[in-house]
Every structure is written in structure tokens, then in C-alpha cells.
Structure 1
């Protein structure tokens, strides 16, 4: 059974990784074979090529290899946590997943919530905190302008469990008739 996969898109500090983990818990309770993949880890290598400062090419190559292995192990659904800044990248992620249906869901949060979350995450690393505080504003602007997402869910005032359930409900409501991002 091939099930629609989900790409949790969003700027830093919105809760993509946490929501992905909660989605995994929900899918496990439903006995749906799935894989949760934090794309940051698939591209974490240094140095990045000059032409690809965020190691996007490495991320996609690693995703394709991992997805094939997961499929052989029986996985039918993927939940990816990462960033898509350009609509031309969506087909690349679909291809890396073996051309599975893919819904791009942008997770948002108010700037004050993002700043608080980032402050907690990077409290012992002032340089990383400064970079992430700048990047969260820059990337939120880029993502809002691109409007490449199939659905947008705000995480500002909700628990990760509630956001995960909302994402899953919306993705399932889109069903097989959905074409955007597919």
C-alpha cells in the first residue's frame, strides 16, 4: 500500500522535528508502516560545496538511498522534516521517495514563539542562537513569498500532538484527488 507522504516545511523554530516525532507516534498507534526523517541530519557534513551552501544535493542523494531501504523494509509512508525554499525542489523530493504522492505542509509560528524556542534550543551557544534568530526571519519571509505549500498549520498556540493530528487530518482530507505538490 502506498500512502501519501508528508513534508513538514517551515522556518527554524516552528517545531517541524517535534511535530514529525508526534506524527510518528500517531502513525505507530494506527499500525501504519512509516519512517520519520529529519532532513537536517542527511545533509550535516562540512564543508558544504560553494554552489550548495546547505548541502541540498547531498540531502537528496541520502534521502533517495534511505527511502529505498525503508521501502524494502515495508515502509509505506514518509514524514520528512526540513525546508523547501523553491517550488522546483518539490519534484526532487518526490523522486527521492520513489515518486510517491507528497503533501507539503508548512508549519508556522509567530516570531515571538520562534524566538523563544530558539532561545531554549541554543541557550548555551550564542553564535548559533544569533544565526538562527536571523535565519528564522529571513526564511519565514522566503517561504511566505514562495507559497509553495499545499497546506499551512500554525503551531504558535498548540501542542505538537495537536498540530500533528491537524496535519494528518488535513492530509487525509486531501485524499487521492489532490494534485498540488504531487
Structure 2
């Protein structure tokens, strides 16, 4: 499995908690510290249509693309791979670790329901159907993640993405 000095973080949580924003902020903080790394948006790696039968969210495509992208980033010198995405099942952790090619730490972001609902309302103000779906999905994913306990550490969102990023890095020992 990859270089022994490389490691991966998967920032997970329900829709609207700030996974992508915090992943970007973690990348900026690592760069500021001089730690070579790469940020990966798992949503982008599976953006394809239509979804095949039995793979509603393109999980197989996501893992195949993650494997290829991770090799390229590690070959380019990245020591920390930081991915934003939803990991719903504890049993899937090994698939993500294998795809990333280095030890994986899963960090779950937690945000108050009212904060997330306000974010989703702003994000989807011109898309009422999308808003309804995301509001329902937040509640659904929160229940799934609470039951699955996929994370190694849980980090509450702070006032800014930068503060949350520093809390994430502290929680994982970086």
C-alpha cells in the first residue's frame, strides 16, 4: 500500500455540513505549513449519468477514479491526500483506504441542524425541488452516519472553515 509516509483523510458528514469547504481549507493549511498534499472532491469523481442499476450514487466509479487520481497525486509528491465525501458504511472504509493507497483516517464533521438547513436554503433558493431533496437527505444521512459510526474522530464545525480545518488537523495529529 503506497508510501509508508503518505496518509489519507476522508472528511465526511451529511450534506451541507461543509465537507468540501473544509477540505479546501485543510489543503490551504497544509500548504501554509509546507506539507505536500492534494484535495479530492469525491462528488466530482462520480459525476456521471445515468446511474447504473444498483449503484445509485456511482460508488464503483468513484472508487475507480479515486484509485487513479490518488496514484497520480502520490507520484507527484503528495504526502497527505484529503478527500471530501460521504462514507455511509463502516465496511466500505477498506475500499477507500485501498483506493487511496495509504492509511486512512475518517473525520466526521458535525454541524447543528439549524445551521445546515439555513445553508441549504441559501444554496438552493432557486431550486425548490433540490432544496427539498437535500433537506430530506441531511436528516437521512445524519441517521445513517449516527448508526454506522464510520469516523475515527468527530469535529464540530467552527465559526470559519479555517478554524475547522485547524481543528481537523489537530484531531488527526497533523
- TM category (shorter chain) comes to over 0.9
The residue number in structure 2 matching 1:176 is none
Deviations 1:127-152 (A, max 9, x none): 11110011000000100111121001
Structure 1 moving runs of 4+ over 3 Å: none
Q: How many residues align?
A: 171
| Aligned-pair CA distance for 1:4 | 2.7
RMSD: 1.2
TM-score of the aligned structures, taking structure 1 as reference length: 0.91
Distance 1:123 1:135 in 2: 17
The residue number in structure 1 matching 2:111 is 109
The residue number in structure 2 matching 1:11 is 14
Distance 2:32 2:162 in 1: 13
Unaligned segments of structure 1, at least 5 residues:
174-182
Deviations 1:1-45 (A, max 9, x none): 723321001000100011001101101111111110010010011
| Aligned-pair CA distance for 1:80 | 0.5
Distance 1:145 1:125 in 2: 30
What SS does the corresponding residue of 1:47 show, helix, strand or coil? coil
Deviations 1:125-176 (A, max 9, x none): 1111110011000000100111121001111x52111111011011017xxx
Distance 1:77 1:97 in 2: 10
TM-score of the aligned structures, taking structure 2 as reference length: 0.95
The residue number in structure 2 matching 1:91 is 94
The residue number in structure 2 matching 1:149 is 151
1:66 aligns with 2:66: no
